[in-house]
Amino acid sequence: MNAEVLQHLAEKVGTPFWIGDAALLRQRIAAIKLLTEGVGLQARYAMKACPATRILKEMLEAGIWIDAVSGNEVLRAKRAGFPGSSILYTSDVFRDGAIAILREHGVMPNLGSPGMLRELQTAGYAGPISLRVNPGFGHGHVNACDTGGPSSKHGIWFSDIGDVAIRAERFGMSVTMLHAHIGSGPKFPELLDNMRRLAKEFAEFIPRFPKLTAVSLGGGIPYNYRNANDQPSLEPLRTVLEDARASFCSAAERDVRLEIEPGRYLVAPVMTLVARVTDVKRTETNERGKGETFVMVDAGFTDLVRPAMYGSFHRITIAGRHERDGMADVVVAGPLCETGDVFTRDGQELLVPRRLPTPRVGDLLLLHDAGAYGYAMSSNYNSMGRAPQLMLEEDGSVTMFSRRETVDDLLATEADEKIS
- Say how far apart CA 411 and CA 162 lie, in whole Å: 48
Structural contact between residues 304 and 367, judged by C-beta atoms closer than 8 angstroms: yes
Position 143, amino acid: N
Antiparallel, parallel or unpaired: β 174-179 and 214-216: parallel
- The answer to whether the beta carbons of residues 196 and 151 sit under 8 Å apart is no
Residue (of 414, 360, 303) closest to 3 by Cα position: 360
Catalytic residue among 50, 145, 249, 337: 337
Max Cα distance, the chain (Å)? 72
Q: Dihedral sign for Cα 227, 233, 238, 240, please.
A: negative
Q: Is 337 one of the catalytic residues?
A: yes
* Catalytic positions: 337
